[in-house]
Amino acid sequence: MSGRVVSIHITPKAGEPMQSLAEVLAAPGRGLAGDRYYLKQGSFSDTPGGGRELTLIESEALDNLEAEKGIQLDPSASRRNIVTRGVRLNDLVGKEFRIGAVRLRGVRLCDPCSYLEGMTQPGVLAGLVNRGGLRAEILSEEVIRVGDEVAVE
Mean per-residue pLDDT, 115-120 = 66
pTM of the shown model: 0.89
For residue 115, the model assigns a pLDDT of 67
For residue 125, the model assigns a pLDDT of 74
DSSP state of 71: -
Domain range annotation of the chain: 2-152
What band does 15 get if pLDDT is binned at 50, 70 and 90? confident
For residue 46, the model assigns a pLDDT of 57
Question: Of all residues in the chain, what percent carry a pLDDT higher than 90?
Answer: 59
User: What distance in Å separates the CA atoms of residue 8 and residue 56, rounded to the nearest whole number?
Assistant: 9
Mean per-residue pLDDT, 25-49 = 80
What's the pLDDT tens digit per position in 44-89?
555 556 677 999 999 999 999 899 999 898 899 888 899 999 999 9
User: What distance in Å separates the CA atoms of residue 109 and residue 111, rounded to the nearest whole number?
Assistant: 6
Mean per-residue pLDDT, 10-16 = 88
C-beta of residue 39 within 8 angstroms of C-beta of residue 12:
yes
Hey, CA dihedral for 49, 55, 60, 63, is it positive or negative? Answer: positive
What average pLDDT does the chain have?
Answer: 88
Provide CATH code, domain 2-152: 2.40.33.20
What band does 21 get if pLDDT is binned at 50, 70 and 90? very high
Q: pLDDT at residue 120 above 90?
A: no
User: What distance in Å separates the CA atoms of residue 143 and residue 130, rounded to the nearest whole number?
Assistant: 29
For residue 119, the model assigns a pLDDT of 67
For residue 117, the model assigns a pLDDT of 62
Name the residue among 21, 74, 15, 75 with its Cα closest to residue 45.
15
